[in-house]
Amino acid sequence: DARKQQLREEIKALLKQRNAVMVAHYYTDPEIQALAEETGGCVADSLEMARFGRDAKEQTLIVAGVKFMGETAKILSPEKSVLMPTLEATCSLDLGCPIDKFSEFCDAHPDHTVVVYANTSAAVKARADWVVTSSIALEIVEHLEEQGKPIIWGPDRHLGAYIAKKTGADMLMWQGECIVHDEFSAQKLKDMKAVYPDAAVLVHPESPASVVDMADAVGSTSQLIAAAKNMSNDTFIVATDKGIFYKMQQQAPDKTFIEAPTAGNGATCKSCAHCPWMAMNGLEAVRNALTENKSSHEIHVDEQLRQKALIPLNRMLDFSA
Ligand code: CIZ
Ligand code: SF4
């Protein structure tokens, strides 16, 4: 509508004026992803967001995603201003893995290599030997498994269980989960598959094992988008945040994408396949990040912590390069 069009124009002008570029996650709302694309920014998974932000020539990054993504950008680019549409956008995995408790867990198992998912605070990353995202976790754990050292894995227990099963690695799990993926229901998925027998099932490994077991393809967001494009099926049932449909539809315009069912529905599900924190990144919030006082949008990471967190993050980026 007219008001949104005006907001979009305003944001475009402000991005230029402020020498800023937008980096958006696949789970943000379609209008945010479209705007990032139109303005020369990027739409990506958390690994690619980190790389794009680091390499961008602009002095200011607008990170449309959740807090750990802004922190990662700041860790990699301390000289840039990293602004978020809202500093309230967090993640249940980050919230469920406080540094004091996680540190105790690590201290209790000093012979273990500490591998943490990118969905964690800068402090948790600083405590880790490796940071991984879901697009590279399997390769990195395979590499560590070959060295034969036991692993502490945090915080997503479903992703951890999936990786342990695939690699045979000895992994001690932190018991965290993503509120979006944790709600997908294998029982309801079975019913849905009966209705769409020719559909391929695409599953993000933050989902419960019972759902992962029913998948035709398991992978990170970028891997699932590639599967949607490359698999010959016409119809796909997708168990990940529905924000991803924007990119799947763009990459495979003739195919049909259906949301995988959640255990609850309407008032009874926490997320209904859309992350409430990703959803905070509306057009207005993006505009506000460019107009309001920096202090209510800017990400800061303590310099000592930043230098520590940079080591396992760079280990991942170098491994994947
Ligand atoms: O669930 C998330 O937050 C994901 C999939 C992040 C990522 O790695 O892109
Ligand atoms: Fe965290 Fe899940 Fe939201 Fe991703 S979708 S930011 S893992 S709560």
* Ligand 2, atom 1: closest residue by C-alpha: 91
* Ligand 2, atom 5: closest residue by C-alpha: 275
Nearest-atom number in ligand 1 for the CA of 178 is 1
Q: Mean pLDDT of residues grouped by 10 in the chain (321 residues)?
A: 96 98 98 98 94 97 98 97 98 98 98 97 98 95 94 98 97 98 97 97 98 98 98 98 98 98 82 94 98 96 98 95 78
Query: Phi/psi at 82 (nearest 5 deg)?
Result: -110, 115
All domains in the chain, ordered by first residue: 2-89+278-300 (3.40.50.10800), 93-177 (3.40.50.10800), 181-268 (3.40.50.10800)
Closest to 117 measured CA to CA, from 101, 130, 98, 104: 130
Nearest-atom number in ligand 2 for the CA of 94 is 1
Taking CB atoms and a 6 Å cutoff, what residues make up the pocket around ligand 2? 27, 66, 91-93, 119, 178-180, 241, 275, 277-278
- At residue 266, the pLDDT reads 72
Q: How far apart are alpha carbons 61 and 299 in whole angstroms?
A: 10
If one residue of 47, 183, 220 were mutated to test the ligand 1 pocket, choosing by the most ligand atoms within 8 A of its CB, it would be 220
- At residue 123, the pLDDT reads 98
The single-letter DSSP state of residue 42 is E
- At residue 87, the pLDDT reads 98
Going from the Cα of 38 to the center of ligand 1, the distance in angstroms, rounded, reads: 22
* Ligand 1, atom 6: closest residue by C-alpha: 46
Q: Which residues contact 62 (CB under 8 A, 6 or more apart)?
A: 15, 20, 21, 22, 23, 41, 83, 84, 85, 286, 289, 290
Distance (Å) of CA 10 to CA 14, 39, 258: 6, 12, 34
Q: Is 164 in the pocket of ligand 1 (CB under 6 A)?
A: no
Ligand nearest to the CA of 155: 2
SS3 320: helix
Amino acid at 14: L
Going from the Cα of 129 to the center of ligand 2, the distance in angstroms, rounded, reads: 22
Nearest-atom number in ligand 1 for the CA of 65 is 3
**Number of CB atoms found within 10 A of residue 293's CB:** 8
* Ligand 2, atom 7: closest residue by C-alpha: 178
SS3 298: strand
Are residues 280 and 86 in contact, defined by beta-carbon separation less than 8 angstroms? yes
**Number of CB atoms found within 10 A of residue 187's CB:** 10
Give CB contacts under 8 A, 24+ apart, made by 167-174.
Answer: 167/138, 167/141, 167/142, 169/141, 169/142, 169/144, 169/145, 171/141, 172/109, 172/112, 174/97, 174/102, 174/105
Token representation of residue 279: 């959803």
- At residue 321, the pLDDT reads 78
Nearest-atom number in ligand 1 for the CA of 135 is 8
> Which residues sit opposite 22 in a β-bridge?
62
